[in-house]
Amino acid sequence: MKILYFAWLKEKTSLAEEDLSLPCGVSTVAGLMEYLKNRGGGFADAFADSTLVRVAVNMEHVQTSHPLNNADEVAFFPPVTGG
């Protein structure tokens, strides 16, 4: 699974992108967010308030209940502000 971080999530995690095998017991976006938050440090900070985080799986906006598999590209970012 490829994970991407944008805007202040990239800054807080100090990471733009990483490869990760779906952790044991994680089957949804919400589960992955909980897993990442438990890494502590910048990750705990980035995922402290999950209501501020938006998610895309395979470049489509999804809810945190969305299921995950190892081939997915998952992206975490704040609400978009383009235009």
Contact present, 22 and 1 (Cβ < 8 Å) = yes
Token readout for 30 is 């919400």
Among the listed residues 6, 23, 28, 50, the single contact to another protein using CB under 8 A: 6
Token readout for 36 is 């990442």
User: Judged by CB under 8 A, does residue 19 bind another protein?
Assistant: no
User: Judged by CB under 8 A, does residue 63 bind another protein?
Assistant: no
Instruction: Label the pairing between strands 60-62 and 17-19.
Output: unpaired
Nearer to another protein, 20 or 23 (CB): 20
User: Judged by CB under 8 A, does residue 18 bind another protein?
Assistant: no
User: Judged by CB under 8 A, does residue 75 bind another protein?
Assistant: yes
Quick count: other Cβ atoms within 10 Å of Cβ 57?
19
The site for another protein (CB under 8 A) is made up of: 4, 6-8, 56, 59-61, 75, 77-83
